[in-house]
Amino acid sequence: MSEAQTYATGKRKTAVARVWISAGSGQITVNGKNIEEYFERETGRMIARQALELLELVDKYDVKATVAGGGHSAQADAMRHGIARALTTEDPERRRPLKRAGFLTRDDRKVERKKYGQAGARKRFQYSKR
């Protein structure tokens, strides 16, 4: 571990990303794997990198993340949130562009629970007249 690390937590749905950023060459590690190995889809990798790309810091920081819960899409969003928070902790001047892009806002939407006597959260069972 390098000496100057900044830590932040990112969340989305039920996914939680613990993110450490440090000055480096742009290497991103997720749960001990390279980002290309962990996020098989390009969209997941793109979403996770968005905060760094916005500030043009992709090749200036190494990112080490531990993600748990949710699916790959939610985990990528949680990583983006965590990276953005870590970048603002390190330099408060970065807050404005990240806030404008919406990367610092925690997306609090979650799956609504299924209710008893119903087919799903909102859907009802089919009504039978006779």
pLDDT digits (tens, 9 = 90+) for 55-66: 999 999 999 999
What is this structure's pTM? Answer: 0.90
| Residue 8 · residue 80 · CB < 8 Å | no
- Structure-derived torsion over alpha carbons of residues 29, 33, 35, 40, reported in degrees to the nearest 10: -160
Indicate the CATH number for domain 5-101. 3.30.230.10
% of the chain beyond a pLDDT of 90? 96
Q: Read off the amino acid at residue 2.
A: S
For residue 6, give the nearest of 79, 88, 67, 98 by alpha carbon. Answer: 88
pLDDT digits (tens, 9 = 90+) for 95-104: 999 999 999 9
Q: What average pLDDT does the segment 108-127 reach? A: 94
Q: What average pLDDT does the segment 78-88 reach? A: 96
Helices and strands counted in the chain (H then E): 4, 5
pLDDT score for 4: 87
